[in-house]
Structure 1
């Protein structure tokens, strides 16, 4: 038992190093194509450790998504349970999605990759940890908003696609920043500005009685 406890911190450290190296590589590119040798070089660890801890590169990518999902979905579940208006929940949620993509711009690309190109078990796991909780949360927020008279009747699935797509694209298309915004990289100021912008766009379509210009 003592030997197992002594080895555990080293195991966690190696896993974290591999997670961080993989996340950094994925954040630097607009695809999820990353090789075992690149991960090994960035992490400073032997690529054999990836197979030892995760079984394969796909296993590492799935574990990385699980780590992101644990935090993001816990925050979302807490938000849905708050005793606040649905409009406020949706605004907070939009800011939360953009914060997640700002920290981990590869997330949505990796989700899509794992669902479409990975094996059935991994695909089902990604749907379980990300898609299902998100749709459940959207359904709860929309139902609350309609009951409060704040939202018009909406399809939660359609709203999910609209919100997630809008929030994610600026991170997916970061290569276009010099042309669109005259920037070389996303900054904290731009992140905040984009969160406000997406919220304004969404709420013009969500609210039961959108505010009219004078």
Structure 2
């Protein structure tokens, strides 16, 4: 096989793996749980289902790869925010808006994290904690410490702050079935998402003030 042919074959494999990840993300975003079959994924991706085993080993491997892809972008952005030279309150406001935007675009993320931690293998559970939970706790620790130094935030436990913020950011999307009853609309839209983000920011920035 020539180098050019080998590169083309490698590009095709990369494209197929990416198509499977994209199809999984789409189906999970449309569903209310993570019970999406491999057949549905392969059909959506227009890729033979045998390729899932080839690229990812099994369904758990596919789901973990999806989380790793999402985490790479999200955690890099969060770390960059943490390292910026700006007041802690502004960082926190940007983060709250960012996490709500992330769940709006990919509502499956927190459901999938819970599933992998609770039902996945011990190795998968540890990996999810390593790529999502631990980096967020570390950034929250830094933000709180900075806010305390600046006199604008209470000295709260970063772990408890994690539960507060992630819970608030996720629940409106996790409980999308209740939107017709609570908000009188069929589904969440960008306007409602933005209003919700502003409300959560106001509640937490006021509540965390010393």
1:151 alignment partner, SS class: coil
Supply the distance in 1 between the matched residues of 2:56 and 2:185 (Cα, whole angstroms). Answer: 38
Q: CA deviation at 1:106?
A: 0.3
Q: CA deviation at 1:204?
A: 2.4
Supply the distance in 2 between the matched residues of 1:38 and 1:206 (Cα, whole angstroms). Answer: 45
Supply the distance in 1 between the matched residues of 2:106 and 2:14 (Cα, whole angstroms). Answer: 20
Q: CA deviation at 1:93?
A: 0.3
| Partner residue, 2:146 | 144
2:190 is equivalent to residue 188 of structure 1:
yes
Supply the distance in 1 between the matched residues of 2:206 and 2:58 (Cα, whole angstroms). Answer: 45
Supply the distance in 2 between the matched residues of 1:182 and 1:138 (Cα, whole angstroms). Answer: 35
Supply the distance in 2 between the matched residues of 1:62 and 1:34 (Cα, whole angstroms). Answer: 14
Supply the distance in 2 between the matched residues of 1:4 and 1:164 (Cα, whole angstroms). Answer: 44
| Paired residues for 1:164-203 under 5 Å | 164-203=166-205
Normalization by structure 2: what TM-score?
A: 0.96
| Pairs aligned (count) | 208
1:159 to 153, 158, 161: 161
Gaps of 5+ in 1: 209-214
Q: CA deviation at 1:186?
A: 1.5
Runs of 4 or more above 3 Å deviation: none
Q: CA deviation at 1:2?
A: 3.3
Aligned-pair Cα RMSD in Å: 1.0
| Partner residue, 2:62 | 60
Supply the distance in 1 between the matched residues of 2:40 and 2:149 (Cα, whole angstroms). Answer: 51
Q: Deviations over 1:167-187 (max 9, x none)?
A: 000110111111111111211
| Paired residues for 1:55-134 under 5 Å | 55-134=57-136
| Partner residue, 1:212 | none
Gaps of 5+ in 2: none
Supply the distance in 1 between the matched residues of 2:186 and 2:18 (Cα, whole angstroms). Answer: 29
